[in-house]
Amino acid sequence: MSKRVLITGHNGYIGSVVSPHLAAAGYEVIGLDTGFFGECSLVPDLGLVGTIKKDIRDLTPADVAGVYAVIHLAALSNDPIGNLNDGWTEEINFKATVKLAELAKAAGVDRFLFSSSCIMYGASNAEVVTEESPLDPKTEYARSKVKAERALYELADERFSPVYIRNGTIYGVSPRMRFDTVLNDLVGRATTTGKVVVYSDGKPWRPVMHVQDVARYFQLFLDAPKGKIHNQAFNSGANDLNHQIIELAQIAVATVPGAQLEMQPQPGADQRTYKADFGKFARTFPDFKFKWNVRTGAAELYATYKKAGLTLADFTDKKFTRLKWLHYLLDSGRLDGSLRWKTN
């Protein structure tokens, strides 16, 4: 009998790739999402899974009954959204995560994969950050991930195994596309304006992983012997997937015929930097190979943007930038002051 996996946030950027991937791998996938971005599709869905349309702040024991594992992706998913309203990030990213984990543990769920982030290391001066490096969360979003990890850590026992999957910055084509992550953005700019402008000095580091490789490593954590992952954090990625912004920009312009690179360093530009050490991931999963790199990923993005006929208006449309879209839903009265749907 196939194992049932509940994926929260299955309708988002990562979820709409992870969910069909796991369904194709033979898991019984149930998606749970309030559907903030249900209307924000760039390409058709990759496959449908059973769904529960619900806010994660309203979960009940029935939502986790009979589930083998929870993959918890639902969150307000980046720094600017965290700045929109601290209270929402606290409630959704932290409090609802703890409640979900408590319900899961009580229901006998075996493992809980938490989609965390390397952003929690802050703008680190360390050469590279390992899982043991001090955490220095600078934003409400990053703090919510740290607090959630700590609370989950306390819930772990011999029957309940949380694991903290610290992702880098994810790129690649997804039905629920985001242009607010770095490589998707750079290739989009090169495609729709013919140029990429770098406002920092280009030196900050980012670990960047393709969303399909992310789907494959979530499966790895589902299938791994419990003893290898129980209650542990993993920087998830590979050392050769750390890149400086300038390299990403150069690859973006090299991918798009005729595109130019412009350096316009500005005071106050985004100088957040983090170069992650992925040695623990490699030692734990020595057979896992990342299939994508920035060059192949940029080529895929460009081909998809061309095929979709992406214009500058589409690229800057609210649908593909999480913060803009939530603003729109609030301003048009579809979401209320607690970030819940007013109707349905």
Ligand X SMILES: NC(=O)c1ccc[n+]([C@@H]2O[C@H](COP(=O)([O-])OP(=O)(O)OC[C@H]3O[C@@H](n4cnc5c(N)ncnc54)[C@H](O)[C@@H]3O)[C@@H](O)[C@H]2O)c1
User: Segment 175-194, which members bind ligand X (CB under 6 A)?
Assistant: 176, 178, 181
- Cα separation values, 157 from 25, 108, 109, 139, 332, Å: 28, 11, 12, 30, 45
Q: Return the beta strands (E) in the chain as ranges.
A: 4-8, 28-33, 50-53, 69-72, 111-117, 161-167, 169-171, 195-198, 205-210, 233-236, 242-244, 260-263
Helices (H), 30-138: 79-84, 86-89, 96-106
By CB under 6 A, is residue 319 in contact with ligand X?
no
d(CA 279, CA 237): 9
User: Segment 42-81, which members bind ligand X (CB under 6 A)?
Assistant: 55-57, 73-77
Question: Residues 117-156: x/- map of binding to ligand X (CB under 6 A)?
Answer: x---------------------------------------
Among 124, 161, 167, 184, which residue interacts with ligand X (rule: CB under 6 A)?
Answer: 167
Q: Identify which of residues 73 and 251 has a Cβ nearer to ligand X in the complex.
A: 73
Phi first, then psi: give them for residue 120, nearest 5 degrees.
-70, -10
User: What's the N-to-C CA distance of the chain in angstroms?
Assistant: 34
Smallest distance, ligand X to C-beta of residue 314, A: 17
Q: Segment near ligand X (CB under 6 A), from 22-30, 162-170, 222-230, 325-333?
A: 162-170
CB count within 10 Å of CB 159 equals 10
Residue 69: both structure tokens together: 């594992």
Among 19, 115, 139, 235, which residue interacts with ligand X (rule: CB under 6 A)?
Answer: 115
Residue least distant from ligand X (Cβ): 12
User: Segment 83-102, which members bind ligand X (CB under 6 A)?
Assistant: 92
Contact residues: ligand X, CB under 6 A: 9, 11-15, 33-37, 55-57, 73-77, 92, 115, 117, 167, 169-170, 176, 178, 181, 322
